[in-house]
Amino acid sequence: MSGGPVWCSTIIPTVGRDTLRRAVESVLGQAGGPDAEVIVVNDSGQTLAHAAWQADGRVRVIDHEGRERSAARNAGAEIARGAYLHFLDDDDWLLPGALRTLAEAAQGANAAWVYGAAQLVNGEGRRLFQFDHGLRGNCLVQVMTGEWVPLQASVIERGAFAAVGGFDERLSGYEDKDLLARVCLRYDLGGTAQPVAGILRGVWASTTRYGRDLHRQTWQSHERLLATAGAWERLRDSAGSDYWRGRLARLSRDHCKKKCRIVTRRYL
């Protein structure tokens, strides 16, 4: 592949797990889709085992310093040539025709983040669940109150990713939802109900460090976002039904309660 632009750059941070081959080959095997490249960010601190996919001209491998997935993803995004960025974990995979489906969805949507349905699959290969939340347009209140749009099933305009500052490397476990909320603060979502990605679930060798501070990370993410000019106006605009207006009221109430507790502990 030449060094020119491509439609999509798939960035795969890895610690060298055996499932990496499936992840990479699921992208390289996309038939009839737009031009794409794969950037494997080796975050293991060791040389990756030799594999046939490493000789493919569409693949670049860069070494990283073991600073976890957010930093690895940002490092991959810095050298990406794609108009869109796609972030895939090394134990997940794209379904056949996924990039073509996402490209078609992106053409019909004025959106910076475009996603397809995702299939949750267990370690034996059995599909547990397939979901599409039907989120389109301004969806800020939806994503801030818990709706999950998986990175693995999404493409993000590179300019929008850069404009919001990429992944927050201080977060571990909440970084994907934080990025989604920051994108939704400025831009709209687009999507399709067509399944595009498989996501492994029920396997406990995860590299995600959820830890006890996940609630703290959620609070910090929300606090920074809600302090941004125009955030509450966009939240109100995204609450287009009584149900979502109720969710917004609860978000506001819970946030105020948390803030009061923090101030009380600090000054009393």
Cα distance between residue 115 and residue 21, in whole Å: 23
Q: What is the pLDDT of residue 126?
A: 85
pLDDT band at 200 (very low <50, low <70, confident <90, very high): confident
Is the distance from CB of 19 to CB of 46 less than 8 angstroms?
no
The model's pTM is 0.91
The chain-wide mean pLDDT, for the chain, equals 89
Beta bridge partner(s), residue 189: 113, 137
- Residue 78 or residue 213, greater confidence: 78
224-244, pLDDT tens digit by residue?
A: 999 999 999 999 999 999 999
Place of tokens 């599909």: 127
Percentage of residues of the chain with pLDDT beyond 90: 71
Give me the mean pLDDT over the 152-180 stretch: 95
Helices (H), the chain: 20-28, 69-79, 98-107, 140-144, 158-163, 175-186, 214-226, 231-238, 242-267
Nearest alpha carbon to residue 156 among 112, 194, 103: 112
Q: What is the pLDDT of residue 162?
A: 98
Q: Give the pLDDT of residue 216.
A: 84
pLDDT over threshold 70, residue 205: no
pLDDT of 40 reads 97
> Which of 38, 184, 166 is closest to 112 using CA atoms?
184
Alpha-carbon gap, residue 241 to 64, rounded angstroms: 46
Instruction: Let me know if 39 is exposed, middle or buried by CB neighbors in 10 A (0-12, 13-18, 19+).
Output: buried
Domains of the chain: 6-267 (3.90.550.10)
Mean predicted confidence (pLDDT) in 171-181: 93
Identify which of 32-46, 79-93, 115-129 has the greatest average pLDDT: 79-93
Collapsed DSSP state (helix, strand, coil) of residue 60: strand
Cα separation of 109 and 139, whole Å?
14
Q: Is the predicted pLDDT of residue 186 greater than 50, yes or no?
A: yes
